[in-house]
Amino acid sequence: MVTPTEIYELWLSEDGSYDFLPSTNNSARNLLDQDAKLITKIEADSWESARQKQYALLGWGNYLPAPDPVDFDQVFITDPQGRETTFDIHGLFGREEVFQLTKITWNKLNLLRKENIVVPESSQKSKFYSFSQLLQLQAYVLIHHDKSAVIRTHLLKKVLRFYSDNYRDVRRHESFPYSIGSVVKSIEPDLSNRDDLFEEIRRRLDFKGQDRYMVHIYPSLLNVISALHENVQSVYGVEFNDFRQMLVA
């Protein structure tokens, strides 16, 4: 079967900006600068493929398409032993399930609810947590495991928001959130964005108002999902296939 191809145009304006569009996209063509010049035409069978060719031509490295959250229904993990856990990101989890899955205690769960950090949805008799909240609770358990890390409520809210905001983006799963002062950002495992961290530190180097600053580095989403996976495996073990059906259903 022959895949139909389309012609894409690469234009360069005098201000140095590039326009890239299919030849058939007239609304994009109408936005071309008057001084824009056609550099080349590229034939490709999809937008992604065309963009990859454009990136190669301009020496921009690999084109990484943005994740489509609409098509992203599951988070799954397979460990070195071949054990797999799949979570339906639209799933709701009762409190008993949350205790089993995250190993969180009653006290901590209630504390997070009272402080409005992780608040379950309520029906008449039951309380349910979403998958993103499950991640937040598991992250909290891991963070709290380090007794030396004392984190104020407003900062904890920001840190836990990292997990709920980013779990849909697989490219962020290995990033480590960190906090310095009240700022929360993340650092890549290969330290490719370490300049951001250095800049945050540099901005605080006057030490006029405070004689020390702590940089806390928190678990990555992968750490959190791995911890959930271990808990699922330890709790459900042999009946795990049934449990997985329940999660994905």
Partner 1 sequence: MPISLEQSLTIPQSQARKEAFQQARNYIERAEKAGGVSAPVSKTFPNLLKDGSNVRVDIEVITGQAFVPDSTE
As a whole number of angstroms, the distance between CA 133 and CA 217 comes to 20
State the nearest-atom distance from the C-beta of 93 to partner 1, in Å. Answer: 30
Give the other-Cβ count within 10 Å of 42's Cβ: 21
Task: Choose the stretch contacting partner 1; rule: CB under 8 A; options: 28-36, 107-115, 131-139, 168-176.
Answer: 28-36
Amino acid at 223: N
| Residue among 3, 27, 122, 210 that touches partner 1 (CB under 8 A) | 27
The answer to whether residue 62 forms part of the interface with partner 1 (CB under 8 A) is no
State the nearest-atom distance from the C-beta of 131 to partner 1, in Å. Answer: 24
Half-sphere exposure of 160 toward its Cβ, with a 13 Å CA cutoff? Answer: 26
State the nearest-atom distance from the C-beta of 21 to partner 1, in Å. Answer: 5
Q: x-or-dash pattern for partner 1, window 166-205, by CB under 8 A?
A: -----------------------------xx--xx--x--
CB 63 within 8 A of CB 54: yes
As a whole number of angstroms, the distance between CA 173 and CA 75 comes to 11
The answer to whether residue 28 forms part of the interface with partner 1 (CB under 8 A) is yes
Three-state DSSP at 144 gives helix
CB 10 within 8 A of CB 28: no
Cα 33 to chain centroid distance, Å, stands at 36
Closer of 50 and 112 to partner 1 (Cβ): 50
Query: Look-up: residue for tokens 């979570």?
Result: 87
Query: Look-up: residue for tokens 């750490």?
Result: 223
Interface with partner 1 (CB under 8 A), residue total 23
The answer to whether residue 16 forms part of the interface with partner 1 (CB under 8 A) is yes
The answer to whether residue 31 forms part of the interface with partner 1 (CB under 8 A) is yes
Residues engaged in binding partner 1 (CB under 8 A): 15-22, 25, 27-28, 30-31, 47, 51, 60, 65-66, 195-196, 199-200, 203
